[in-house]
Amino acid sequence: MNVFVKASFFLRELLLEISKRLNIEFSEVIYMTPEEIIRALNNISDVPKKEISQRLKEYGYYIKGNEIKTITGDVYLKFKEKYFSNYINLSEDELKGAIAYKGKIIGIVKILKSTSDLGKVNYNDVLVTPMTIPSFIPAMEKASAFVTDEGGILCHAAIVSREMKKPCIIGTKIATKVLKDEDLVEVDAYNGIVKILKKAKI
């Protein structure tokens, strides 16, 4: 795991350097595919600004064999309507995001916004955060699932969830605003839905 923590750190540094060279924000780089990054580094005019803008709002991806394909815009809307039409209209107690690693668990929410919150996480809790960083690894090892506000297929949470084989839903936009510490939730990372089963007592 120590090797993986170092790898995650260096990946973040690499993406920060790429953002500098392409003169775009780090939050935009993480929504680019590896192929798009390579093309843009060879020719900065190839930065897919339209696609990035669409992905910041909504996007999806699917895995077929060793291929990961990212879809946005009308293609994504048609894909979602065909395969996920039952989940378009969510209740007020549900959040939707992109699936980083499949699985389904029920657990207690713990909101992490900085390393000072790490001590809150107990084994089998659901870690909810704007975006994970390498220093969150100790808490991620305890948690049973991860839910983030932001992130793309190359984000730290997505990479760690696949390494740890823990359910992960990214890009919910509002998880840290809607969910509270001690809420009981179901993380359905087969369908990309976080459902509040019981709200914490105020």
For this structure, is 30 an active site residue?
no
- Beta-sheet strands, E only, within 59-192: 60-64, 67-71, 94-96, 98-101, 104-111, 126-129, 145-148, 168-170, 184-188
Burial (CB count within 10 angstroms: exposed 0-12, middle 13-18, buried 19+), residue 107: buried
Given 55, 96, 110, 156, the catalytic residue: 156
CB atoms near residue 96 (< 10 Å): 19
State the angle between helix axes of 49-57 and 73-84 in degrees (0 to 180), rounded to the nearest 10. 30
Residues marked as catalytic: 156
